[in-house]
Amino acid sequence: DTEVTQTPKHLVMGMTNKKSLKCEQHMGHRAMYWYKQKAKKPPELMFVYSYEKLSINESVPSRFSPECPNSSLLNLHLHALQPEDSALYLCASSQEPGQLPYEQYFGPGTRLTVT
């Protein structure tokens, strides 16, 4: 099973709402990632968790708050977002942090619209 699942598939939220994105993998991977992707652009890394600890935060605004409750789950808590935060949010996982040749497996993404 090489599957990363993400819920919800689509999310529309107002600027005062609080919502969460969820990501799950059961491949025993020890690194998990959040990316933000705008249309026609490559994904931009937001956060990396290695062995359930936050190892990379790419200077993401505090209105995005990641959480890794266990090795299979990754959440992204959203609060007071701006319309420019509307994007496709991709979750990914890989077997061993920093090791080659392990590729990152991506989930289907959550399309977020902030109104």
Partner 1 sequence: AQKITQTQPGMFVQEKEAVTLDCTYDTSDPSYGLFWYKQPSSGEMIFLIYQGSYDQQNATEGRYSLNFQKARKSANLVISASQLGDSAMYFCALRTYGNNRLAFGKGNQVVVIP
Q: Could you give the CA distance from residue 32 to residue 25 in angstroms, rounded to a whole number? A: 9
15 or 113: CB nearest partner 1 = 113
- Please classify residue 66 by burial: count the beta carbons closer than 10 Å to its beta carbon, then call 0-12 exposed, 13-18 middle and 19+ buried: buried
| Region near partner 1 per CB under 8 A, out of 20-28, 48-56, 68-76, 78-86 | 48-56
SS3 47: strand
Q: CB 80 → partner 1: shortest distance, Å?
A: 25
Does position 13 interact with partner 1 (CB under 8 A)? The reply is no
Count of residues interacting with partner 1 (CB under 8 A): 27
Residue 48 binds partner 1, judged by CB under 8 A = yes
Residues 112/86, Cβ–Cβ less than 8 Å: yes
d(CA 46, CA 61): 10
In the complex, minimum distance from the CB of residue 16 to partner 1, in angstroms, rounded to a whole number: 27
Q: Can you tell me which of 42, 59, 69, 70 binds partner 1, judged by CB under 8 A? A: 42
Show the CA angle centred on residue 38, arms to residues 62 and 108, nearest 5°. 90
Distance CA 50, CA 35 (A): 15
Determine, following the binding rule CB under 8 A, whether residue 101 of this chain makes contact with partner 1.
Answer: yes
Residues that bind partner 1 (CB under 8 A): 31, 33, 40-43, 45, 48, 50, 55-56, 88, 90, 92, 97-101, 103-109, 111
